[in-house]
Amino acid sequence: MPALSKIQLGKQGITKNFIETLKSHFKNHKDVKISILKSANRTEIKNYEQKILKNLGANFTARTIGFTINVKRWRKARK
C-alpha cells in the first residue's frame, strides 16, 4: 500500500466532493498531502484544517506546514 497521496484544494474550498475524494484517497493511502492555493492566508488554512478533521473523524490528525496540510490516518481514534 503506497504511503503518500497528494491532492490540491481549489478556489471553491472544502466541498462535499472534496471530502469524498479525500476519503477515497484514504482507502489506498495512509497519508495525504493537501496543497492549498497561495492566495489563502493563515487563518483560512487553519479553518480548512479544522473542517477537514471534523468531516473525517477521530482517526485522523493533521499538521499544517506553509501552504500544505498533512493528514494522517490512524488505526485507533486520537484525542
Contact between 33 and 66 under an 8 Å Cβ cutoff? The reply is no
**β partners of residue 73:** 60
Pick the CATH number of 4-73 from 3.30.70.20, 1.10.10.60, 3.30.110.60, 3.30.70.330: 3.30.110.60
Parse the chain into domains and list their residue ranges.
Answer: 4-73
- Per DSSP, the three-state class of 62 is strand
The length of the chain, given as a count of residues: 79
Which H/E stretch holds residue 45?
helix 42-56
Give the pLDDT score at 75.
85
- Those residues whose C-beta lies under 8 Å from the C-beta of residue 31, and which sit 6 or more positions away, are 3, 4, 5, 70, 71, 72, 73
Residues 18-76 have pLDDT tens digits of 999 999 999 999 999 999 999 999 999 999 999 999 999 999 999 999 999 999 999 88
